[in-house]
Amino acid sequence: MEMQAQASLPQRLLRLLFLLCIFSRLFSAEAAAPTLVSRLPGFDGDLPFHLETGYVSVEEENGAELFYYFIESEGDPRRDAVLLWLTGGDRCSVLSGLFFEIGPLKFVVEPYNEGSIPRLRYHTYSWTKFASILFVDSPVGAGFSFSRNTKGYDVGDVSASLQLRKFLNKWFTEHQDYLANPFYVGGDSIAARIVPFLALKISEDIEAGRRPTINLKGYLVGNPRTGEGIDLGRECHFFMEWG
């Protein structure tokens, strides 16, 4: 009797890459205005949450643009926290955080059917149940974030942090309704090199009275990696709250 095995990890990654191609057609950098997305390939019916995607220019000289997915809280979006989420790895797409970690969508695990579109399902235990999440492809070169000049891809931890600082200032200027909400900076793995420094820079802007005034409350990192000599083989979680 012939049996079909569940999709292996490489097959699931191929599905993710296929879906990335679909996303790249949906969310073109040609459009300057944010895009509201109500339906996605592989998901049955309308999305049960508010999804906005778009680009924010963070480096004019080389034409560097950061791509984001903003999913509004399914609870009380006018009061719930806003969380910036950065994924780990070196230039990994933040879609990994959206699909495999804290987002409201998951892949349906089923026997692999070559050539089919991967199916998506709603994730009941998403963090978007109680927070609005701003997933950002960072640094430039991760996911759909890009630079018109190849020099724009030459960024390190400090320059990537400063670009995210500019991203947030621009994004909140265009999304004033969320300025009063508690704001947290979060990420996992290598993003731990960015998160604390970015939180520090936002805090300095607040103290200097720069606008827009982000309501920073703290930062969090999961399985942080700051250097192999310090944390190789060690997993930990760290949370710091302002006030």
DSSP secondary structure, 95-162, as one string:
HHHHHHTSSSEEE---B--TTPPPPEEE-TT-GGGTEEEEEEE-STTSTT-EESSGGGG---HHHHHH
List the chain pLDDT tens, one digit each, 243 residues. Answer: 333 444 454 445 445 544 554 454 444 444 468 999 999 999 999 999 999 999 999 999 999 999 999 999 999 999 999 999 999 877 889 999 999 999 999 999 988 788 888 899 999 999 999 999 999 999 999 999 999 999 999 999 999 999 999 999 999 999 999 999 999 999 998 888 999 999 999 999 999 999 999 999 999 988 777 766 555 555 555 555 555
Residues 6+ apart with CB under 8 A from 112: 4, 5, 6, 7, 8, 11
- Secondary structure (DSSP) of 199-213: HHHHHHHHHTT-SS-
CB 83 within 8 A of CB 133: yes
Q: pTM, whole model, 2 decimals?
A: 0.82
Enumerate domains of the chain plus CATH numbers.
9-241 (3.40.50.1820)
Residues 187, 18: Cα–Cα separation, whole Å? 25
